[in-house]
């Protein structure tokens, strides 16, 4: 099976995406899921969205990308994070 590619994005590609990246790395390690992770800002995503299997975002993304995107705000707030992790796991193991 090919390693899935995941892009973590936020408005600037610095603050919230870094927090999400750390939580995601720990989750994937705990689950034994091998995925390639990259980090970027939302303005870059249109140019490279087709290179990724999944986009995890803490900001609004263009409608054309919605089906690839999981909203990561619950990973920042802690409210609903289990459901987000379940979605991520489902996308990466299917």
The answer to whether 80 and 90 have CB atoms below 8 angstroms apart is no
d(CA 17, CA 15): 6
77 labelled catalytic: no
The answer to whether 49 and 68 have CB atoms below 8 angstroms apart is yes
Which candidate in 9, 10, 42, 84 is catalytic? 10
Instruction: Provide the annotated active-site residues.
Output: 10
């Amino acid at each position: 099976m090919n390693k899935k590619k995941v892009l973590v994005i936020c408005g600037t590609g610095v603050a919230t995406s870094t927090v999400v990246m750390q939580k995601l790395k720990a989750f994937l390690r705990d689950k034994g899921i091998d995925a390639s992770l990259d980090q970027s800002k939302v303005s870059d995503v249109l140019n490279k969205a087709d290179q990724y299997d999944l986009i995890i975002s803490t900001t609004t993304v263009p409608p054309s990308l919605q089906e690839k995107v999981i909203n990561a705000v619950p990973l920042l707030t802690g409210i609903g994070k289990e459901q987000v992790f379940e979605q991520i796991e489902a996308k990466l193991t299917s």
